[in-house]
Amino acid sequence: MTTPLPQLVILASGSGSTFDYLLHSSLKGLLRAKIVSLVVNKPNTGAMSIALNHNIPAFEINKKNFSNESSWDLEMCQKVTPFQPDLIILAGFNQLLGPLFLAQFKGKVMNIHPSLLPHFGGKGMYGNHIHKAVIESKVKKSGITIHWVSEHYDDGPIIAQKEVLIENNETVSSLEQKIKLQEKQFYVEIINKILIK
């Protein structure tokens, strides 16, 4: 009798490239877990289309549609709880999670960030804003951080980091590409390590 795979719920906000990578890694057996649901916080996301094409239950829970933050927070809990996820994985999800959700899933919510936290994190630090700040600071290395999610942007306990060296002629675009080439595979590797602990 085979042991059931750990279950993942993915939270995403955009094109779905990280979600797509995680999904196909799961289908190929490289990610030793099953993606059981997707939650997005914006309409018309690429991630939603990918989930529907693979018959994965997917929900749009847009904070703008709720009268207050706590009702949105409660709805997030009510949609995710029935799936009993072993981990909740942020894949480009750009919304701070509410206190109820973080309490309900304490120690189970994970995010990836394209810098070596605690440097170049926090509100407004996403995408090329990060890489631009890194290049302008003249530091010699950047990288990838995987961390537990807290009530503040990019502030939860660090799980793992991977360094990327910055060349003398590095640009925002070249640094972004360097990190993109490694971050999704690194995410899969660390998720697997957490799940087998």
> Which residues does the annotation mark as catalytic?
113
Q: Which tokens in the block code for residue 96?
A: 């701070």
Burial of 195 (0-12, 13-18, 19+ CB in 10 A): middle
Other C-beta atoms lying within 10 Å of the C-beta of residue 23: 23
Closest listed residue to residue 129, CA positions, set 119, 120, 137, 138? 120
Task: With beta carbons less than 8 A apart as the criterion, state whether 176 and 128 touch.
Answer: yes
Which residues, 6 or more positions from 71, have their beta carbon under 8 angstroms from its beta carbon?
A: none
Residue 87 bridge partners (DSSP): 8
Whole-number Cα distances in Å, 189 to 43, 72, 144, 157, 185: 30, 32, 13, 18, 6
